[in-house]
């Protein structure tokens, strides 16, 4: 049956696998592209400005107003930086399995703003406390002020953990992978992304660090907070023109990479007592759902047991098993290098 020309034209006006803010198919002319990408670039510039506004001068703040030794300050900075580097894994899981990229960015921005606001408050309290105890050279902030500072600092780390895995990917979602012109535009988007990101970091290191050391720390922490508030407002302005990727967030096993790979280890463990004997598609005690690929023979062969189909246990796909093997190999290689 031939599809009417009007319907073909109508179908070509929409982006496959994307919807608009109302949940309807995303129009090529009414959503996405550069006009929505600039909103996303803006929020990333502000986030990097805020993060490096804290990170670049943190050890100076710890050894100065907080009165910590250089060794203690170095440990605290490294612990915070390491935590901030690991949290994007959690942020990616939450975005893929539950909230989606758009909502995760909003929640992360709110946490970011809360952390920066409390950081500004703690710095103000420390400044006021030091000014009252100016005659006491050994005076240090109270325990509860220190607690407030570190809680706010780790809220900032949680906020960037939600931002980092989502913002760039959400920006790429604004370009249709099936449209040649938009594929080229997406490549250009990444160029502008890194240029803008670098500009935001450079501006933060120059301006915020100067304000912190030559004006006061509260004002120096307040500037990144103000930037994040403005960035979130600008990001929300683009809500009606964003393209949102389709996906069933309730089906965690099918939509989330971490869940899929994690399930391979769980199923392989449950099937650990079964024998993996490959002859065609048959096994002594089960049947391989996809068969065993050439790659799955040899190393890490125990993970192939996750493909065994038996009563009460749904088998994993061959692709999931191969992904799990690749991940284990990569972790082993990187651990050896470390």
pLDDT of residue 286: 41
Q: Decide if pLDDT at 211 tops 80.
A: yes
pLDDT of residue 284: 37
Confidence category of residue 178, pLDDT binned at 50, 70, 90:
confident
The stretches of 179-285 forming alpha helices (DSSP H) are 180-203, 209-214, 217-237, 252-255, 257-270
pLDDT of residue 76: 93
User: What's the mean per-residue pLDDT of the chain?
Assistant: 81
C-alpha radius of gyration, the chain, whole number: 25
Q: Which one is predicted more confidently, 248 or 134? A: 134
Residues of the chain with pLDDT > 90: what percent? Answer: 37
Q: Which one is predicted more confidently, 285 or 116? A: 116
Q: Decide if pLDDT at 175 tops 80.
A: yes
CA distance 107 to 328: 32
pLDDT of residue 293: 45
Q: Decide if pLDDT at 207 tops 50.
A: yes
pLDDT of residue 148: 92
Residues of the chain with pLDDT > 70: what percent? Answer: 81
Q: Decide if pLDDT at 256 tops 70.
A: no
Q: pLDDT by residue (tens digit) across 157-173?
A: 999 999 998 999 999 88
Q: Decide if pLDDT at 269 tops 50.
A: yes
CA distance 205 to 146: 24
Please name the residue that has the structure tokens 């065993």.
292
CA distance 46 to 113: 11
**Backbone dihedral angles phi then psi of residue 245, each to the nearest 5 degrees:** -65, 140
- List, in order of start, the domains of the chain with CATH numbers: 12-245 (1.20.1250.20), 256-337 (no CATH)
Q: Decide if pLDDT at 233 tops 90.
A: yes
Query: Which residues make beta-bridge pairs with 206?
Result: none
Q: Decide if pLDDT at 182 tops 90.
A: no
Contacting residues for 21 by C-beta, under 8 A, at least 6 apart: 239, 240, 242, 244
Q: pLDDT by residue (tens digit) across 94-119?
A: 888 888 899 999 999 999 999 999 99
Confidence category of residue 255, pLDDT binned at 50, 70, 90:
low
Q: Which one is predicted more confidently, 8 or 21? A: 21
Mean pLDDT in residue range 68-81: 92
| 250 CB-contact burial (10 Å; exposed 0-12 / middle 13-18 / buried 19+) | exposed
Asked if residue 290 lies in contact with residue 320, where contact means CB atoms within 8 angstroms, the answer is no
Which residue from 99, 113, 231 is spatially nearest to 166, judged by alpha carbons?
99
Asked if residue 192 lies in contact with residue 41, where contact means CB atoms within 8 angstroms, the answer is yes
DSSP string, 20-38: -TTSSEEETTTS-SHHHHH
Residue 327 token pair? 């991940």
| 279 CB-contact burial (10 Å; exposed 0-12 / middle 13-18 / buried 19+) | exposed
pLDDT of residue 295: 46
Kindly state the DSSP code that residue 244 receives in the 8-state scheme: E
Considering only 43-57, 181-195, 218-232, 292-306, which range has the smallest mean pLDDT?
Answer: 292-306
- Give the total residue count for the chain: 338
User: Is the whole-model pTM more than 0.85?
Assistant: no
CA–CA distance from 72 to each of 60, 76, 77, 149, 198 (Å)? 12, 6, 9, 15, 30
pLDDT of residue 146: 87
CA distance 307 to 292: 8
């Amino acid at each position: 049956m031939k599809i009417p020309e009007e319907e073909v034209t109508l179908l070509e006006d929409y982006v496959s696998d994307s919807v608009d803010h109302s949940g309807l198919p995303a129009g090529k002319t009414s959503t996405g592209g550069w006009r929505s990408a600039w909103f996303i670039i803006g929020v990333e510039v502000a986030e990097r400005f805020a993060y490096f506004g804290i990170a670049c001068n943190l050890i100076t703040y710890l050894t100065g107003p907080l009165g910590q030794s250089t060794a203690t300050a170095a440990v605290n900075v490294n612990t915070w930086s390491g935590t901030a580097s690991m949290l994007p894994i959690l942020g990616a899981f939450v975005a893929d399995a539950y909230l989606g990229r758009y909502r995760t960015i909003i929640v992360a921005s709110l946490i970011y703003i809360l952390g920066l606001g409390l950081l500004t408050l703690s710095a103000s309290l420390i400044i006021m406390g030091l000014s009252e105890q100016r005659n006491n050279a050994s005076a240090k902030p109270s325990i509860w002020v220190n607690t407030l500072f570190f809680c706010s600092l780790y809220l900032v780390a949680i906020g960037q953990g939600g931002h980092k895995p989502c913002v760039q990917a959400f920006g790429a979602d604004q370009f249709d992978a099936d449209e040649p012109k938009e594929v080229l535009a997406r490549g250009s988007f990444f160029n502008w992304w890194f240029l803008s990101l670098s500009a935001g970091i450079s501006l933060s290191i120059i301006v915020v660090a100067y304000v912190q050391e030559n004006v006061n720390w509260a004002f120096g922490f307040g500037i990144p907070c103000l930037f994040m508030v403005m960035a979130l407002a600008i990001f929300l302005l683009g809500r009606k023109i964003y393209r949102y990727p389709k996906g069933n967030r309730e089906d965690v096993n099918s939509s989330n990479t971490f869940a899929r790979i994690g399930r391979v280890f769980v199923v392989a463990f449950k099937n650990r007592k079964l024998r993996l004997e490959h002859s065609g598609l048959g096994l002594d005690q089960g049947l391989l759902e996809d068969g065993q690929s050439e790659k799955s023979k040899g190393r890490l062969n125990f993970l192939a047991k996750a493909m065994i189909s038996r009563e009460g246990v749904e088998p994993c796909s061959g692709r999931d098993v191969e992904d799990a093997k690749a991940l284990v190999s990569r972790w082993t290689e990187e651990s050896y290098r470390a």
